[in-house]
Structure 1
Amino acid sequence: MTKHPLLISRGLLMLTGGFSMLQAGSYMVKPVRIELSARQLRTTIQIQNLGNEATTIQARVVAWNAKGLEEVLSENDEILLNPPIFTIAAGREQSMRLGLRQPKPATVELTYRLILEEVPPPPRPEFTGVNTVLKISVPIFVKPAMPAPQLTWTVKHISDKELQLAVENQGNSHVQIKQIAVTGADRSEPDFVKNTSTYVLKTGRKEWVIRDAHLAGAGRFLVQARTDNGEIRETLSPDRP
C-alpha cells in the first residue's frame, strides 16, 4: 500500500467589484493508492480536514476498467465502505474502512476508484460568488495471486517532426508509469523525458506525442520507463505511415 499522503485543495472563488479572491481549504488523504488481496481483505484510509470549517464528504466506490484508450467508470457494489457519508470538523481526521464484500480468488486484477465528494453547504445569504467543491478519486487494486503485467511498446511517425509512442497492457494486472525517457541511437542523453503518473490497466492503452525533429528522423532509439514494477528498456524502430 502506498503510504504517501495526498494533499488536496478546495477553492472558493469570490467575484466582487471586478476583483477575484481565492479562499482555499486543504484536505489530506492517505494512502493515495489502496491495495487489497486474498491476504488483505480490508484496509483503512484517513481523511484530514486542514481547513477552518467543518465539511461533509460523501464516498462511493465504482468499477474502473479499460479497453484500449477508453477508461470506464461504472456502478459497483463489490467493495464495502463505512461510513459512506461523514462530517469532519476543522482540524480533525476521519477514518474510513474498506473491504471486499465477497472475497473470491482472482486470476486477473480487479480495479476500482474510491470517489470522495464534498457535499456543499447551503450558501450564506450574503454570498454571491462561485462555490467550487472538492471531488477526488483514489485507485483501488485487488491483486491476483500472481500479478503479471505484459507491456508492448510501439512507435510510429505522425509527421516529419512528430512521433506517437504507445504502450498496451495485455497482462493480468496494472502498471503505473512514473517516467519515460527516449534516447536516439546516436545520443548518450535522452532527447525526450516525461514525468508522469499514468496507470496502464489490463487491456488498456496509453499514447504520448513526441515533438522532436531529431527523434523523428532517427531510425532506432531506446525507450526507458520507470514503473512501480521496475525499470523497462525497449529498443524500437518507428513505423512509417
Structure 2
Amino acid sequence: MSARALRWGASLAVLYFAIGTAVAGSFSVDPVRLTLTAGAPIVALAIRNSGAEAAVIQLEPTSWTQRDGVDLYEPTRDLIATPPIFTLPPHGTQIVRLGLRRASDPRAELSYRLYLVEVPPPPPPDFVGTRVALRLGVPVFVTPATPSAQALQWQLVRRPDSKLAIAARNHGALHARIQSVSLSRNDGAAVSGQTIADDVHAGQERQWLIQGSAMPAPGSTLRLSASTERGEVSADVVVP
C-alpha cells in the first residue's frame, strides 16, 4: 500500500478521496476515482484484502445525482462490473473491470458510484453482538465528447436560520471537486478557512456553512480562494 494510503477505523465506511488509496477496515481499493472516456470505456481497479480472513465482496453500481445540494443514489444497469461477486483470500488481490453499457452524453458528464459491499458469513452459534458489513464507494465519471473548462460561480448566502454559507454553482459540463475554501479581507487578514472535499456536479450547487465568527458587516466584500481538483480559483463575494 502506498504512503498516501488513507485509513478509516469505523466498521461501516463509505469513502471517496481525490488521490491515494482508500481503505475501509482491511480492504483497499486503487484507484479511488474512476473516469471513463470514449477512448477508454473500460477501466480496472484492484481490491486488496490486508486481513487474515477471507471475505466475500459484492459489487453494486449506482447512479449518482445531486438535487438541492443532496447526493442521491439509485441502482443502475448503466455500468457493468465483473466479477459481480467474488471471494478475496487473506492478503489477496482481485482485479475488477468496469464498463459503460450505454452511450455517453455528448454534452454533460455522467456520474455514478460503484459500491463494494462485504457479504458477512453466518455467525457462529455462540456469537453474541452485531456484525456490520463493510461498504466502500468509488466515484465513477463518464466524460462528455467535448469537455468544457471549469466554470464555478461563488457567493455568500444567508440561510433561513440566519447562518452564513458559501455557495458554489457549477456552470461547466464536468464535476468540480472542491478541496478547501477560505475567506479573507481586503488587507489579507483571514476570516475563515475549511477543508471541504466535496463534488459539485455539472449544473448543480452546493453550500457549506462558514466556519468562523469574525464576519464583517453586511455589504462588505471578501476575497474567496478555493482549491479544486483542477487548480486554484478566486472570486470577490459580498456578505449578505
Say yes or no: TM over 0.5: yes
Residue identity matched to 2:88: I
Residue identity matched to 1:43: V
**Equivalences, count:** 224
CA distance in 2, matches of 1:191, 1:153: 16
Residue identity matched to 1:59: L
Partner of 1:83: 83
Scaled by the length of structure 2, what TM-score is found?
0.85
Partner of 1:116: 116
Contact 1:5 1:29 in 2 (8 A): no
Listed as ranges, the gaps of 5+ residues in structure 2 are 13-23
How do 1:1-241 and structure 2 match up within 5 A? 7=7, 9=9, 11=11, 25-104=25-104, 106-148=106-148, 149-158=150-159, 162-186=163-187, 188-217=188-217, 219-239=220-240
Tell me the secondary structure at the aligned position of residue 138 of structure 2: strand
1:35-89 Cα shifts (integer Å, max 9, x gaps): 0111111110011001111010110211111133132212221111100001101
Quote the sequence identity (%): 31
Scaled by the length of structure 1, what TM-score is found?
0.84
CA distance in 1, matches of 2:47, 2:64: 22
Listed as ranges, the gaps of 5+ residues in structure 1 are 13-23
Residue identity matched to 2:226: A
Task: Give the direction of change, closer, same or farther, for the CA distance of 1:180–1:74 in structure 2 (3 Å limit).
Answer: same
Residue identity matched to 1:182: L
CA distance in 2, matches of 1:34, 1:160: 38
CA distance in 1, matches of 2:81, 2:101: 9
Identify, as 1 or 2, the structure richer in strand: 1
Contact 2:104 2:144 in 1 (8 A): no
